[in-house]
Homo-oligomer: A and B are copies of this chain.
């Protein structure tokens, strides 16, 4: 679509604003249909973003988008309309705010709960450096469950710097929002002055609620808020929006249309997780499931429906989820905490301190492990092997296919240790033999002096292609399903006759599987060559293209095999 900017919005009539809103909505819908992306969250915030661009002066004023998956209108209104058709494509517009992409993106996000802290920091820097601009944090009600938001709210009185917090209340995280604060927000919407004073205890002036899809309500409210900021006060504007507004399909299914994929995916690991947990829970009453606002995308819906008393969605609270699971395990349950790899980072300390130090039998089901692709830097699951492997008492497994994931989930009940099972979003069902704790599986055995250890389905697929290339040229190597990144199969490695060991992992090289294998084999005389991702944040693009570019290319791995052969 054409570029519309803040100046045009400032001069537009309400009727013109509504017409521009329709243009934005159509552009978002059309682009997401082709490129994938976040649909319902962006459709719901069109008017709110336009009103902010009308009342404030970006990029002079600064806006921080919590999570950032609602920034499409902002991008369309800040000189990126013509490039918007490249959304989430390699080298194109990112699906999240990104400092290096535009001066209008003053702060990058992707995970929940950071916006108020970041806005306070920016505002405080403004004060200290003697500058003069306004700072806005746009935060969804889902993030109001997240602990970081409370840490930030708790420091407002101390920091004494005015910011505008726009609470975008659509009643949903990705799953519906609930819990103590949600109830309070609901009562605020009904005008409960006591609940309003609750939030004002933190040192903010409450305004609202306003209809966040109505320019008539939003614009005067934002102008009033702007004046209150000038008095040196923090303002919280409570804007009630309708997630998915504009299309019957998205309005009726805001959760299902939160994230949209342009093409159907293969079998989802998540579906198997749901099936397997239900099957096991039928006969084992100790099994419980914990999630942080991701019931559907993690495949847990069937479990929540069949075993509601043992299913816990704690909202966007990854830390609390880990400790709750630890508590359940400490008192005799067998909890499974399903979470995306990138969000599990938020509870690193709790994995160490609560689960592993106490050797509690919590199983982390780490979905979206490895490159995730189009969501970009903030969502790649390429650090988990590295931050999980140094934790004592923790086992880290990664299945070769969905069938093996099922076996691992079942066997985890016997193993009874802290365990992370890490898998990508999609893969093949396949079939699998019994999985033994800490044991590799040889998939193709040869007399060659080369052995390839591949961790997880994606790497095994790469390894098999390399094996095909090698065989066509008369070369060969032993191929191993490295089911356990930790503990390594020490017996296998110690007795393995091959002199050259090649490792493949869908993870950064630093601190990953290859490092662990090399550490184990140090002094053995064996040569280790590790393939994985280089030490950079990997931007958005198709996962398959990115993995080649950042360290996992069949050609390079094959060249390594060839070179070893050439040396004799």
Interface residues of A (CB under 8 A from B): 62, 64, 99, 106-111, 113-114, 117-126, 128-129, 131, 145-159, 178-184, 194-195, 197-198, 201-203, 285-286, 288, 309-310, 312-315, 317, 319-320, 323-333, 335, 345-346, 348-350, 352-354, 356-358, 377-378, 383, 386-387, 389-393, 508-512, 514-516, 518-519, 522-523, 527-530, 535-537
Contact = CB atoms under 8 A, between A and B. Distances in A.
Nearest to A108: B358
Contact of A114 (B118, B201, B323): B323
| Most chain B beta-carbon contacts within 10 A, residue among A126, A128, A182, A349 | A349
A349 B345 contact: yes
A378 B346 CA distance: 18
A121 B325 contact: yes
A349 to B, nearest CB: 4
B128 A288 contact: yes
Contacts of A323: 114, 117-118, 121, 148, 152
Nearest to A130: B285
Contacts of A358: 99, 107-108
Contact of A515 (B150, B508, B511): B511
A392 B536 contact: yes
A537 to B, nearest CB: 5
Which of A62, A64, A198, A515 has the most C-beta atoms of chain B within 10 angstroms of its own C-beta?
A515
Contact of A158 (B195, B314, B349, B535): B314
B178 A537 contact: no
A331 B121 contact: yes
A519 B529 contact: no
Oligomer: number of copies: 2
A327 B117 contact: yes
A114 B357 CA distance: 14
B155 A348 contact: no
Contacts of A117: 319-320, 323-324, 326-327
Given A330-B99, A353-B110, A180 B151 contact: no
A389 B151 contact: no
A187 B156 CA distance: 18
Contact of A333 (B125, B157, B320): B125
Contacts of A126: 331
A48 to B, nearest CB: 22
Contacts of A153: 180
A120 B324 contact: yes
A153 B354 CA distance: 18
A528 B121 CA distance: 44
Give the 4 A-B CB pairs with smallest separation, nearest first. A121-B327, A147-B147, A511-B511, A125-B331
A353 B111 contact: yes
Contacts of A319: 117, 147-148, 151
B350 A349 contact: no
